[in-house]
């Protein structure tokens, strides 16, 4: 059930019984999350309201996830698209067929999808799907087709020995099938003959689905290297930055040397991440990368992975949420709620108990250590009683969904409540540049928006969370799956603070809106330069009349239409020009001016273009 409706019902029932002010007074005396959770668990009126939606959710969860007949109907739909050469539509139907398939239906869907990948010259995905189809018990009498396709893929990839073996297997299967495939047998025999005497390779390369998937993963774009060695105390960051404390804005990251525009100073892998529900058929549930061919969970039909490797890695937490993913999404608790649950399941009770006992600051900020997540700012003391009450009920509700008897684990519920306070101020959006599939129309209203940045998930990044906000930031986040690189978009002098933008930029949001939103969600009053000097919005900012050289050049570059997924051939030269313009303007021009924003947007677009691409429709 939608949590908002549930909470409204709880508040209504409490009002009816006339106990609101007394309960609110008692709840306000709770001084820790443990006490808040105990309070909710001991409040009969709340527990009573939770029972019915929890029981309904349990009924839903017990319904079978896999269905041979549904899988067959998606596959039939895929076959129709395939016959019409609508390859992407066919893949999409086969993906749906795979999510709900089991046994032979799974094998058939993998095999059919491998045919589309083969036709699209995606040899690695085709090969991987062939092996998975065979693993799933693809019918023996049809296996010769897969072996021949496998041989073709190997040949295209330049693995002649492997191709030779596959064609020979196809030939043996055709021979044992008798006379009915006479023509096929002739053509396979001639393919084998054409290969001639191949030298048998000593090592077996890409012999199973995992090794093929490693090759697929290797071809993805990787985050850039750090500009310097890794900082021992902040392993995700370079030695160009260090952590300090300030009186008025808590912890902050500061440059230890001058940092140039474009430099990569942090590369952090998410401690935990979640994928938005609408991307479950196109993105990996675990690493958030776009994938043309997801592999399904063995048991539920609600998640897909880019590879069997990610599926195995995700088992540590997915075994607890298997079959529950849709129920969690339907609670509409938002990304922070879902991320809180994922974090807790990934961490496990024992590590949470250890973190609870170690409130003191550890010297090393290791992004893979739950302790760094545990210590994120939650602004608890500034939250109202009503806000904390709502979050405590939410934590109990979410954790009760996990338990067959609706009795939540108190330690886990307490950890979820802690994260429900810290994530709204600390979690990061994962955004990929979305490329329109062939045949679809992208947005063309602005040249740089042909490929739209699209939010596909959320992540917990403890080192990135140490960066404070400015309405005129000096760094930008660039996403590579669930890895984020921090790159400078302004010069950062030694001793200056790294400043990110929390979603409210001076060029597009009025000062009053920025201040109100930052204060509501992040509990601080922004005193950055654009706020202090009340800079105008982009549309009202002046243009560089005095520097036509800069103004015209920036305009010319920004107007270039970056239509190909890799940008125009000269994209990296353009990025270098943007950096040059930004450098010049920082020292010689009084900001704000439109050309500065244009060059900065151009550079940010280039960074996004060189990172993860999601080849799906821009909506
Ligand atoms: C993502 S954290 C940033 C790191 C934080 N300073 C810390 O100690 O963990 C966000 C919180 O930092 C503080 N903060 C961020 N930017 C700020 C700013 N420009 N001025 C004052 N406080 C700020 C607010 O408390 C906000 O909720």
Neighbouring-strand partners of residue 479 = 484
Q: Residues 145, 147, 151, 154: is their CA dihedral positive or negative?
A: positive
Question: From the alpha carbon of 470, which atom of ligand 1 is closest?
Answer: 19
3-state secondary structure 453-514: EEEEEEEECCCHHHCEECCCCCEEEEEECCEEEEEECCCECCCCECEECCCCCCCCCCHHHH
DSSP state of 526: -
The counts of H helices and E strands in the chain are 24, 15
CA of 369 to the centre of ligand 1 (A): 21
Chunked mean pLDDT (size 10), the chain, 619 residues = 92 85 92 97 92 88 86 98 95 95 96 98 98 96 96 93 92 86 86 74 72 94 95 97 94 98 98 94 94 94 96 96 92 96 97 87 87 95 96 97 91 98 97 69 46 86 97 97 97 98 96 97 96 97 83 74 66 87 91 92 88 64
* C-alpha–C-alpha distance, residues 132 and 296, integer Å: 11
CA of 572 to the centre of ligand 1 (A): 34
* C-alpha–C-alpha distance, residues 105 and 465, integer Å: 45
3-state secondary structure of 236: strand
3-state secondary structure of 503: coil
Between strands 613-614 and 428-434, the pairing is parallel
DSSP H helical segments within 43-122, as ranges? Answer: 44-62, 68-83, 87-100, 104-119
ipTM of this model?
1.00
The answer to whether residues 39 and 76 touch, using CB atoms and an 8 Å cutoff, is: no
Six token digits for residue 194: 């054409």
The answer to whether residues 550 and 581 touch, using CB atoms and an 8 Å cutoff, is: yes
- Per-residue pLDDT, 564: 64
Alpha carbon 262 to its chain's center: 23
| Domains contained in the chain, CATH given | 68-203 (1.25.40.10), 272-425 (no CATH), 432-610 (no CATH)
* C-alpha–C-alpha distance, residues 112 and 71, integer Å: 12
Considering only CA atoms, which of 479, 128, 473 is closest in space to residue 307? 128
Considering only CA atoms, which of 398, 464, 371 is closest in space to residue 425? 464
Omega of the bond leading into 253 within 30 degrees of 0 (cis): no
Within a 10 A sphere around the Cβ of 208, how many other Cβ atoms? 13
Q: Which of 250, 365, 429, 530 to mutate to test the pocket of ligand 1 (most atoms within 8 A of CB)?
A: 250
* C-alpha–C-alpha distance, residues 9 and 131, integer Å: 52
Omega of the bond leading into 592 within 30 degrees of 0 (cis): yes
Neighbouring-strand partners of residue 212 = none
* C-alpha–C-alpha distance, residues 427 and 446, integer Å: 29
Pocket of ligand 1 (CB under 6 A): 249-252, 377, 379, 425-426, 465-466, 468-469, 522-524, 526
Which residue is closest in CA terms to ligand 1's atom 22? 249
């Amino acid at each position: 059930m939608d949590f908002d409706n549930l909470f409204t019902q709880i508040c209504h029932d409490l009002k009816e019984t006339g106990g609101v002010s007394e309960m609110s007074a008692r709840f306000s005396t709770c001084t820790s999350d443990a006490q808040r959770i105990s309070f909710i668990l001991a409040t009969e009126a709340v527990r009573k309201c939770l029972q019915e939606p929890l029981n309904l959710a349990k009924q839903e969860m017990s319904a079978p996830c896999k269905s041979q007949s549904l899988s067959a109907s998606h596959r039939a739909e895929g076959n129709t698209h395939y016959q019409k050469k609508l390859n992407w539509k066919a893949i999409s139907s086969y993906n749906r067929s795979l999510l709900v398939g089991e046994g032979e239906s799974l094998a058939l869907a993998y095999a059919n999808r491998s045919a589309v990948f083969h036709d699209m010259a995606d040899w690695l995905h085709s090969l991987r799907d062939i092996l998975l189809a065979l693993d799933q018990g693809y019918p023996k009498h049809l296996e010769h087709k897969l072996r021949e396709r496998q041989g073709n893929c190997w040949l295209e990839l330049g693995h002649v020995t492997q191709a030779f073996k596959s064609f020979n297997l196809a030939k043996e299967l055709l021979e044992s099938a008798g006379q009915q495939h006479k023509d096929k047998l002739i053509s396979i025999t001639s393919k084998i003959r054409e290969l001639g005497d191949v030298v048998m390779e000593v090592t077996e390369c890409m012999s199973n689905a995992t090794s093929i998937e490693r090759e697929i993963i290797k071809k993805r774009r990787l985050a850039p290297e750090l500009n310097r060695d890794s900082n021992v105390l902040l392993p995700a960051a370079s030695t160009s930055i260090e952590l300090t404390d300030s009186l008025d804005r808590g912890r902050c990251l500061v440059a230890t040397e001058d940092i140039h525009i474009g430099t990569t100073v942090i590369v952090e892998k998410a401690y935990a991440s979640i994928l938005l529900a609408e991307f479950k058929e196109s993105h990996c549930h675990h690493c958030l990368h776009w994938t043309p061919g997801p592999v399904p969970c063995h048991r539920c039909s609600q998640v897909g992975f880019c590879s069997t490797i990610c599926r195995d890695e995700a088992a540590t937490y997915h075994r607890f949420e298997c079959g529950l993913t849709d129920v969690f999404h339907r609670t509409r608790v938002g990304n922070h709620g879902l991320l809180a649950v994922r974090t807790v399941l990934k961490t496990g009770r024992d590590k949470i108990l250890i973190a609870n006992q170690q409130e003191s600051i550890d010297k090393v900020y290791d992004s893979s250590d739950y302790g760094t997540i545990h210590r994120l700012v939650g602004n608890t003391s500034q939250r109202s009683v009503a806000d904390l009450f709502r979050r405590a009920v939410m934590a109990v509700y979410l954790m009760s969904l996990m338990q067959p008897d609706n009795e939540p684990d108190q330690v886990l519920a307490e950890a979820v409540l802690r994260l429900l306070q810290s994530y709204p101020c600390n979690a990061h959006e994962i955004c990929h540049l979305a490329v329109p599939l062939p045949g679809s129309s992208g947005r063309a209203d602005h040249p740089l928006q042909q490929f739209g940045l699209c939010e596909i998930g959320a992540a917990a990044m403890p080192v990135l969370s140490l960066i404070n906000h400015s309405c005129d930031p000096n760094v930008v986040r660039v996403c590579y799956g669930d890895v984020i690189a921090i790159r400078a978009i302004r010069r950062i002098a030694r001793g200056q603070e790294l400043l990110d933008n929390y979603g409210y930029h001076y060029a597009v949001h009025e000062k009053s809106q920025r201040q109100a939103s930052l204060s509501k969600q992040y509990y601080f009053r922004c005193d950055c330069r654009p706020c202090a000097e009340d800079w105008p919005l982009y549309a009202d900012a002046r243009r560089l009349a005095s520097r036509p050289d800069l103004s015209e050049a920036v305009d010319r570059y920004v107007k270039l239409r970056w239509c190909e997924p890799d940008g125009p051939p000269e994209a990296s030269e353009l990025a270098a020009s943007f950096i040059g313009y930004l450098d010049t303007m920082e020292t010689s021009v009084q900001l704000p001016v439109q050309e500065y924003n244009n060059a900065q947007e151009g550079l940010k677009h280039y960074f996004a273009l060189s990172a993860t691409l999601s080849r799906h429709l821009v909506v």
